[in-house]
Amino acid sequence: MAFKIEREEYINKTFRLNTKLVEKMDKICDEKNISLNKLVVKCIEYALDDMEDDEK
């Protein structure tokens, strides 16, 4: 069996964020030593995973 590296597919999107939010996010990135992209992905994943179902 050959050694195979799986590649994730990515899509570029552009979002407008207010200055205060970006400043908060930049501070967290500096403290955690992570990229802004990684923080945004983690925040979105967390929000989607923990979103309440509106069909109650």
Q: What is the pTM of this model?
A: 0.76
Q: For residue 8, with 0-12 CB atoms within 10 Å meaning exposed, 13-18 middle and 19 or more buried, which class applies?
A: exposed
pLDDT value at residue 1: 74
pLDDT value at residue 55: 57
- Going from N- to C-terminal start, the domains of the chain cover 19-49
Residue 51 φ then ψ, to 5°: -70, 135
pLDDT value at residue 52: 83
What are the tens digits of pLDDT across the range 1-56? 788 888 989 999 999 999 999 999 999 999 999 999 999 999 999 999 998 876 55
